[in-house]
Structure 1
Amino acid sequence: MKQLFLGLAVLLLASTITSCVVLSPKKYKALLARQDSLNLGLSESKLSGENLDATIRKLRKDTANLHSALAELQSNYAEVDGNYNKLRSNSSTQISKLAGDLKAREQRLKEVEEILRKRDQATNKLKETLQNALFGFTKSGLSVDVKNGKVYVSLMDKLLFPSGSIVIDEKGKQALSQLAIVLKEQPEINIAVEGHTDTQKIINLGQIKDNWDLSVLRSTSVVRFLTDVEKIESVRMTATGKGEFQPLADNTNADSRSKNRRIEIVLSPKLDELYDLINK
């Protein structure tokens, strides 16, 4: 553009010079004014061109920056989108896994509840059977109860042993024989025999030193009778002595002390199925 202005000025000047050899002062001044105007236009044109070039360079730089920013944003978007898809995929997998675990636990809980229901049903049936079998001994201090899913056959010491003795008397043997009939028909039942005493101190009983000895020896006497005489499998039997430390009454009078001197035969259903299920 600036070259065009320059060419026009030269052409105009040459035309003026060739067409008018002699110029009047007025025309000469007009020509000079015209020349000044063209020079000013040329200067402005140069300045405008420079400004235009600067603007173009700035626009190109801004465009490059925008392309760079756009590329960075696209990269960030791709990363975020990938993370989102990965998270959604993982979440779906975890949700599916948790749902599967929950379903398995619910199934296991139902199985445990069914096993416990069967246990309680069997326990109550066993209690009823024992009460019927041992009914004739209830007035002699025998009772049958259910606690914590187990059947407790409690026999006061006067039903089994003479005072201060560890030898089972005939009436006690009759009661244990009736009990053994039921236990032989229940091979899935574990049998624990517990000896209990009152707080009275042992005096002059020879080998029996204290209530610990008395409670243990009485429980082992019962176990030996059930295994040696009644032929109940020894593997089902456990003998323990509790001494005076699990009383039923407060030991303040003869009647309460009599309640504490007892043999408890604890019958527990085998729960191998339940243990296996819990430990899966």
Structure 2
Amino acid sequence: MKKIMLLSVFSLLVLSSCVSKKEYAALEAKHKETQDLLNTATVKLNSCISERATAQARVEGLQEQLADMRKTNQDLIDTKGNLTTLTQKGAENLERSLESLKEKDLKITRLQDALTKKDSVTLAIVTSLKKDVGLNDPDIQINVEKGVVYISIADKLLFQSGSYNVTSRAKTILSKVATVVNGKPDFECMVEGHTDSLPYNRGGVLLDNWDLSVKRATSIVRVLEELGVNPKQLIASGRSEYVPLVPNDTAENRSINRRTRILVLPKIDQFYEMVENEMKDMIAEDQKN
């Protein structure tokens, strides 16, 4: 550009020395016109250069935005994949939890059915004892505690004072108990002997109230066996004076505490076997499904 301007000035000087004024004026006008065109072109060139730089910067900015958008898009795709995996795992875990709850509910239902069955049998025993057999003596108490039937018989109905020999009247009462027990071969009959707190001092083979309570229990067990009860169902036990119903502070209270208690209860091992069989059946059904 500078070379062109110097050439133009040099040409004007040379021409000015050898051309007429008219020609010089024309050349000068032509030079001015050329200069204006050059200035205009320079301005346009600078403008183009500026616009190109702006456009380039914008392109670079757009490329960065595009790269960010591509990265964001990939992150979203990855996140979606992770969420899908998590959702699937969550659904599987939830399904397993629901299945586990169903299994637990089924187990509880089976256990409740087993307990209901046992309670129904217990109720039938109580009904049989109270109505069908006719144990309605005021000195004979029948009740149910925690699924076990308790028959409490006052001592005066079974033994003479301080003795472990069973009276004839006692055998009549025990025959009714034997009828119920014989009808429930899957149940056990535990006989508990209870005394008052007065020391036993009659000598003989018995040393104390422990001996007396156990001996009375074994005497009842022998009578029940004679009445046809399977000895495998019978249990003899003594509690001495240590499980009183009332304080041993009066003769009347001591009479209440001297008693024989007969427990009619399901065999624990058979009960658990029944529950175990229920569990096995449930597992077998699950495996089929």
Number of residues of Structure 1 aligned to a counterpart in Structure 2: 268
> Closer, same or farther in 2 for the Cα pair 1:28/1:182, shift >3 Å?
same
> Closer, same or farther in 2 for the Cα pair 1:255/1:114, shift >3 Å?
same
1:133-148 map, 5 Å? 135=134, 138=137, 141-148=139-146
1:158 alignment counterpart? 156
1:265 alignment counterpart? 262
> Closer, same or farther in 2 for the Cα pair 1:246/1:56, shift >3 Å?
same
2:285 alignment counterpart? none
Displacement, 1:253?
A: 1.3
1:3 alignment counterpart? none
Query: Structure 2: which 5+ residue stretches go unaligned?
Result: 283-289
Greater shift, 91-100 or 246-255, is seen at: 91-100
Matches of 1:168 and 1:263 in 2, distance apart?
Answer: 12
> Closer, same or farther in 2 for the Cα pair 1:263/1:22, shift >3 Å?
farther
> Closer, same or farther in 2 for the Cα pair 1:27/1:119, shift >3 Å?
same
Matches of 1:147 and 1:276 in 2, distance apart?
Answer: 26
TM-score relative to the length of structure 2: 0.75
Greater shift, 25-34 or 148-157, is seen at: 25-34
2:166 alignment counterpart? 168
Offset from partner CA, 1:226-277 (integer Å, 9 cap, x none): 34x3453333233332232322222221111111111111111343424654
Q: Aligned match of 1:232 in 226, 229, 232?
A: 229
Corresponding letter in the other structure for 1:211 = N
Query: Structure 1: which 5+ residue stretches go unaligned?
Result: 1-5
Q: SS in structure 2 opposite 1:168?
A: coil
1:104-119 map, 5 Å? 104-119=103-118
Identical residues among aligned pairs (%): 26
User: Is 1:47 matched with 2:32?
Assistant: no
Q: SS in structure 1 opposite 2:218?
A: helix
Superposition CA RMSD, Å: 3.6
TM-score relative to the length of structure 1: 0.77
1:18-33 map, 5 Å? 22=19, 24=21, 33=32
Corresponding letter in the other structure for 1:157 = D
Q: SS in structure 2 opposite 1:135?
A: coil
> Closer, same or farther in 2 for the Cα pair 1:23/1:41, shift >3 Å?
farther
> Closer, same or farther in 2 for the Cα pair 1:29/1:246, shift >3 Å?
farther
Offset from partner CA, 1:58-110 (integer Å, 9 cap, x none): 23322332232122112211122122222332333344334434444444444
> Closer, same or farther in 2 for the Cα pair 1:125/1:136, shift >3 Å?
closer
Matches of 1:54 and 1:237 in 2, distance apart?
Answer: 109
